[in-house]
Structure 1
Amino acid sequence: MAVQSTSNQTSALANRAVKDVYPVSRLVREARVLLEGSFPLIWVEGEISNLAMPASGHIYFTLKDEAAQVRCAMFRNRNNQLRFTPENGMQVLLRVRVSLYEGRGEFQLIIEHMEEAGSGALQRAYEALKHRLGQEGLFDQAHKKTLPILPKSIGIISSPDGAAVHDIVSVLKRRFPAVDVVLYPVAVQGENAAGQLVAAVKLADQRRDCDVIIIGRGGGSLEDLWSFNDEQLARAIFACELPIISAVGHEIDFTICDFVADVRAPTPSAAAELAVPDAQQYVLSFQRYQQQLTHIIRQRLITDQRHLQHLHRALPRPELILRQQTQWLTQQKRMLDSAWRRYLLNYQQKLDYLSVRLKHPKAQIDKQRSALNSLSHRLQTAFRTQQKSVYQQFQSLQFRLQRQVPLPQIDEQQKLVQTLAKQNQRLILQQLQQAKQFLAQQMRTLAAVSPLNTLDRGYSITSKRDSGEVITTAAAVSPGDEVLIRLHKGLLSCEVKKVDEK
């Protein structure tokens, strides 16, 4: 019996060695790795139950829907970013990693981000649209239009039954009653609200019956204000040529309409205050300007009156001025008559003198003709003399040139060049022959002392692999060093195993 028991134990151990038996920890660990590697970060929506928030700062709860539930954990380094306090029964949207808790072998979700399900989806859509329109440049300050200083008419795009319209009209009547108001009635929430808002903006831009537009409504939740986050409304506001003031919700509410409009007002009442000036301030300004202008005119009149009195005292009597001018004119007339008589007398004397010296024109012409004939004869004589001298010089130079023609010298130099060329060629050939003989002798000498011939006789050259230094003694290397051995044909790369210096 003992022998049989021992045999059974040996067989069981052998069977166990053949099978791959998983310990529980290994199975759970590999299942966790498989789960975490199969799922990326995903979004999951459900209801919170069994919520636990211990002092460690971590949050644990069960996420469930109508058909299933799963355990969830949100660690302290993540839940400090929450914008709300989780509660049982709350519908939430989670961004999670799928995992497995090895201690209990439980399937669980590790939460990276948590937000309330209803408003969270709208908030993500809002942020996505805001980012895309911002990238397109719809929010750039360069596209913003300036509000008119004193508009004649204000357009209001809002619900006629809402408190926003009454607030705007009340502020306009109080600040500037003379301004006209044009109401474009629309729905500000619901399925058709966005389309009505877009149509109202386009209609106001087409009619041009107002100078500035106020678009807005009272406060509400994100769902209530969602019509003002419509992309088509944002593009209609951007394309509108009239300046637009956005007054949607309360001061803490921001919509896409606020960013794309030319001016954003925190409330509808504030939009009305931005649209028109304060009439009372205008009246006070006019009164102040009237006082300043009255004072300036009064000072100018006083100054001009003083200047006029000074000029009146400095101005002499007219009859005295006329008497002085008459005496001056009489004196000038006598001086002019005297000067004119002297000028006529002087001119008559010059005329008499010139008439005595003036000769008859025919005599002058005959004299000039005689002088011209004399000059012509002298010129011809000088030309012939100069021509003869130049011809003699030309003949002399021609004779000298014929004596200096270098044709014989050129022939003699060409013969000399040919002779020297033949001698040069012969000397070059002789020097080449001597150089060939010298080169052959040097090659024979080099072959006699070349190490390659020594390698051909069975010798080799050993050098260090890293530095290339030639090894002449065994002490130059150590065991483990790599060396190169050059043979007559080829190269060996070897490792030193042992060194025998003897």
Structure 2
Amino acid sequence: MAQAEIELTDNGTRAESVTEFTRRVKRLLEGGIRPAWVRGEVSNVRAQASGHVYFSLKDAGAQLSAVLFRGDALRQTVKLRDGAQVVVYGEISVYEARGQYQLIVRAVVEDGVGRLQREFEALKARLAAEGLFAKERKKPIPTMPLTVGFITSPTGAAVQDFARIITRRGWCGRVVVLPAKVQGEGAALEMVAMLKLAAQLGIFDLLVIGRGGGSLEDLWAFNEEPLVRAVAGCPLPIISAVGHEIDFTLCDFAADLRAETPSAAAELITSHFVDCADRLRQGREGLVALVDGAVQRARAELEHARSRLRLLSPATQVEQGYLRLDDIANRLGSALRHAAQEKRRQVAEVRGLLERRSPERRVELESHRLLSLWKRLQAASPKSVLNRGFVIVRDQAGRPITRRAPLTPGQRVSTEFADGKVQVRVEEPGGTKSA
């Protein structure tokens, strides 16, 4: 039988595959070892194109493989480098393909920062238990401070940012810089002295204490107990503006209000002023528009009154009389011309009617008609017929003979030609003989 087909060992127990064994180790380690903080020296740092960072943690007695995945790496403020002393937080994991366990790192802080962080949390808990950070102790921040004291380093970028913001927003108050160290030995005591001086001067409506961003060590002066107690006990309202948005110090909790940055503090201080300035500008624009409208209406009313006065003046009345007289004269002339034209038209109509009905016209028409009838009568007269070569035969009584039947031989008849009459005798029907 082949070696791969053997399932039981000599003592009768089942043999596990490498994968099964490794998975059992993985479940045992990952389920039995809770996430923890581990201190050590960084070595063999390898940053991959994917964004993951692989490195080792070592001390004098051991070495531990570790990985910082891309999503966690982007959130870190500490740059991993060979030889750095760090404290990391993570959980154990087993990479089955190599049978290797490693630490999945979630957070990295420098070794000194870990100590400071523990001190920070301890002091915060103790002062909070005393009620130093209670909301009841907070003083209201004035909405329109006229004089603001800024406790900070006069050469730091925070002053420049603060001044640029309030200048850009057009704030009309006054800022007095109370110079003090904001980092290093003695910085906290200098800021405490400036707080006392500000309270003694009595000219400030509001105090700002702060500086630009930095590491936990750089900002540590704002976590020292004397300064935190001085901020909480200051009779003046205080805004704490230390570091960046992600930075928190104990002064932030002790102050009456926290601003994420010195620039944000400048915006907070000037916000109500800007709102009032905007409302004032809108009110001014509305008032100007209202006044302009009133002036325009007054001008219109004045022009209307001037026009009415001009219309009611004697000179205007006379001019209007002239205009009305000219208008009446024009209308009268037009009416007379129209009446004359109408009369001329009527006369022409009557003249035409008279011409159509006058005796002369009728006599003329009747004469023409009589002449026409005469011509027609002449055309139909016997004389006209005779002139065309015809002959009229008449009996002894002068009656016209229109048929041959009544004629008898020897009968005398009269024949009339165009140029005279001739007596003839009938010899036989169908012929005649001259007498």
TM-score normalized by the length of structure 2:
0.46
User: Which one has the bigger strand percentage?
Assistant: 2
Structure with greater helix percent: 1
TM, length-normalised to structure 1 = 0.40
| Structure with greater Cα Rg | 2
